[in-house]
Amino acid sequence: MTDPADLTLDEVRETLAPIIAANAAFDGWSDEALDLAAEGAGIDRDVARLAFDGGAVAMIDAWFAHIDTRMVEAIPADRLSAMKIRERISALVQARLDAMLPDREALRRARAILALPQNLGLAAKLGWRSVDRIWRRAGDTAVDYNHYTKRAMLLAVYTATATVFLDDESEGLADTRGFLSRRIDGIMRFEKAKAGFLKRTEHRPSLSRFVGRLRYPAV
C-alpha cells in the first residue's frame, strides 16, 4: 500500500475526491470537508489544500472526473460492444448517475456552486467533458459538426435527467430511467432524421459551386 506521504498531487486529488463528496453532503464543498477527508486518508492537510488550491470548484472538478472513471469501469468493453448505440449511451448515463447515488446531496450542492455566474464557464467545460467521454466510450468517432451536435444534445439530456434524478424517490430510480429513455429516444430520432436528410441532399447540385463556375469557368 502506497504511503500517503508519497502520493503526487494528482494522486491526492484522485484519493480524496470521493471522500470529500461524502463529506460535502453535510459540510458543503468547503475546507472543512477537505480537512476531514485528508485526516481520514492520512494525508497532510496542507498537502491536501495545495492539491485543491482552486477551492470548491477544484474539488467538484476532481469528483466529476472520479465519477466519469467509475462510469467507464461499471460497464466492461465487451458488454458495451454487444449493445446498440442507443443502449450504450443510455447505459453509460445511467452508470454515471448510479455512481453519484450515495452522494446526491453533494451533487445538489455542487450544481448550486457551478450555477454561480463566475462558474458557468467551468460548468459547461465539465459537462462537455463528461458527455464527450460517454460518446467516445460508446464508439463515436465523428470529427465534423456531428461531433458537436451529438454532444450538445446529450449534454442537454443529461442536465435535465440529473435534475429529475436529484429528487427521484421512485423504486429503483424508475422515474429517472423512464425520463432518460424518452430523451435518448429523441436523440436517436434526430440522428436518424439528420442522416436521412444528408443522404437525400448528398447528390444535389451545389448552388455555391455553380456560381463559382460562372465566375471562374474551367479552361
The pLDDT value given to residue 106:
98
Distance in angstroms (rounded) separating the CA atoms of residues 173 and 101: 10
Count helices and strands in the chain by DSSP H and E runs = 11, 0
Delimit the domains of the chain by residue range. Answer: 7-201
Residues counted in the chain: 219
The pLDDT value given to residue 201:
55
Q: Quick one: cell of 88?
A: 450504450
Q: Is 156 exposed, middle or buried (0-12, 13-18, 19+ CB in 10 A)?
A: middle
Q: Quick one: cell of 183?
A: 430523451
- What pLDDT tens digit does each residue of the chain (219 aa) get? 678 888 999 999 999 999 999 999 999 999 999 999 999 999 999 999 999 999 999 999 999 999 999 999 999 999 999 999 999 999 999 999 999 999 999 999 999 999 999 999 999 999 999 999 999 999 998 888 889 999 999 999 999 999 999 999 999 999 999 999 999 988 878 666 665 555 655 555 554 554 455 554 444
The pLDDT value given to residue 144:
83
What's 206's DSSP letter?
P
- CB 19, CB 40: distance < 8 Å: yes
The pLDDT value given to residue 216:
46
- What's the CATH code, domain 7-201? 1.10.357.10
Tell me which residue has cell 471522500.
Answer: 19
Q: Is 6 helix (H, G, I), strand (E, B) or coil?
A: helix
- CB 35, CB 74: distance < 8 Å: no
Q: Quick one: cell of 148?
A: 458537436
